[in-house]
Structure 1
């Protein structure tokens, strides 16, 4: 009877174990995700979603929203031994500027054997926008099905049917500007040998991976090198793979393809708002035949930008603060329907009210008061006009801003103005790729305004304390500057206007400059009867600067050569006429011009 059982089950188990070892990398070694699967595993240098937990924990810092992903995989569909599947679930939770933590569970299962992994990962910013580091700890479990054969085999009766162990991965990600990223991972740098079953050794070997990716707007090509142990022996092999990812302009659809030494792959994604459906396909180039390839499907859901704990703490702070009376000016628009700007204004009005921090004047009441005061709203878009209106409405602060579009990317810029002092207190910017996402961008703007506004309120000193503090610390005077309209070459002039506005906002956000707004600039030049049309030279900028009583002027241009956009900017001292600093930035898509403007502002500030 025992001989019959051995002859029946022994070949099945041996074939299954060889199948896992030789063709299907076990759950311990197979990284999660349908998105990387469709790029032949070219993801170490990309790793910007939940899949970073198993691919490159350092990439978790790129995840700016709480996200969860569910994955199902069917390896080698059509094989005779077909009852094999795997599943994964992962969660990423951002912790602000410090980094992001994540957790996951992976399972690979068949009729005779299963592997499971619990993952805990963390990614931290070491040098922001340049270097991040990550660690992934894994609790590992293997189990064998108890059946007629394993029940009488001495190997299993002596050693048991399941084993557990642990492993640790270390990771790093380097970013060179907005385009180039490099990922490095060392897998299993620490691991236990407790997975061994009797005389069958089972210790995970150290493997190494490195990747390079180029983020060229909506197009992301990459390469991957891995130096991995072959079949858990002493032999190592070097694998190479290349992959691409391309998103449509509205960021709703993506297609992928990849090829490596052992496989070719393809994949796609479709986004339904904050829910994404991903599919990946891989076909082996050698070693197996008679299969329809491996298939992987996942669903990822994005929940929000801040943790519940953080929101709770901020809510406690808000309740302690008296509500501030504010009103919102209609946002201006560039390259979009003005009706959209009105909708965005209403969304911001509702969101600010819902924070519980502000007493927000309703649009109907605002219009009624303006009509009673016979105030002329036409062309009232500047900070000065907002201040004048705020005094009429008896508001403490006014919100002004704009909604613009570059390529397929929408930008919302907002700033809070103190009615009494006339100072701009807070600025905030948010971006999105679809009109459908403008509501989320408004929530983002609101959370940024609250975050910036709460910090001073938490530790606001008394009047006496302020006076004592001012005696101790010398006041840093902000430099008064104005930004000329950016000139354009091979670029739509409306794009140059949006770039000018982005530069103006980013320079103000540095905290180093008092930036004259466009509407105020036009008003002053009109009063001086100065003709600014065609004023593009440095000499003309100096003349304008003297009329406006500015310390320095910013002159810039936006040009395009081939598929590359280039922004050049220079600051001119109005009194001496000398160039004080210059800066340039490049990108490959209109969508990335906002990042280029941030880069320009950062360079102009460093002197």
Structure 2
């Protein structure tokens, strides 16, 4: 370091992991002691953590570091004070006589960092108090760091500027700029940094880490610089929530240094809500979550149950959330945004309800909403993981639906001739669907308001005409059937099952006009409730 610069101890590696990887840590600084490389790194941490490190340096100098970092919503805060001391030595005069005085050195660094994670980018800043005491003289100053990390799939790119402002003993602190890149695999990671360090010029650091087994990680690196360069080696052992790390850092002819540390990560592994990942993943960069279509019937290329309906239709919105790290959605996510004429409707966005699945393979979420009449509706989904990363995918873009018409009154006065076609089954057997059709016929008869065509008579008439009734849910099919049966209204519908719930949908078709003049649906929590659900449907019909 030039005589015109100060702050030597601000250049030393503080992270045991980072030191073992050749100080190539700008893009991987996601731990409390990573503040010393890039203040944005703590935004990528999966769990709150506390770290302690012991440093053994040259010339009888040793140091201690304690760090803590945790998230608060979309932001993370960290603190990592460090103290260095040199063993005091006796002072001798020019004749070699002991003067009775001693000479010592002490330095303290106290950085406080704030970082946030916004989609694929983490940004952070740190303010740090720095002091040196040398031979009874002391000097203090304040300096600032800024940094950012960008994640693209398994690649990370980091940048930081350190020691902005500040002087010690009237000399400015050595300013440092770091540019780093890293690749994170399932069991390994490699990294490289380009560093511009004050008067020391430019140099490169390279390093890597390999997970031999889930508990043990091997690390190595090289600091490619003329002064104070050399190889590095290290070992990490994970024991539950604890991580124990060691690093060897070579300084060529000057000698070797050693570091040892321990980290405790708070929280349980794979918790269902706001979960933290397993220790093996605690040091990896956060993956961007994805939103996908569920692939279920009616949801293969969209997130709504139907594109058309009326103001009595319950439109069901569904989406699948998946995160490669297994992270749960942040509290209150996923959400569905429903807009009309380009503006959010009242109450939007709406928090969705978990239905099934897991966060890693894909969890399905749902929300049901009846909408006023209109034809300018659109919807899209939004989700973030517990690290604040915004989910991407087709469901995050607006889809234009549904078209909502006005429910017309069904004039089915006493004596109206009606027939009920066989229901179709969705995720249920056709026999079960037919039974629900029979339930509906029985309830219609029990009202005494309708002339309901008997099932056997229907089959006889249609058989004579060689008409296939199975699966007749389209309007044209229902109209043809109704004309053959000589009825004024045809009731066609379906029975579907989702998890433990059943859904009945009934469309009323006017045989003369061929239009669907009404549509009703009902839900049953179990098969035993299907009869009661049919009774409620008929009550709606009877009131019209």
The alignment's TM-score, normalised by the length of structure 2, stands at 0.49
The alignment's TM-score, normalised by the length of structure 1, stands at 0.45
Which structure carries more helix by proportion? 1
Which structure carries more strand by proportion? 2
Of structures 1 and 2, the larger Rg is shown by 2
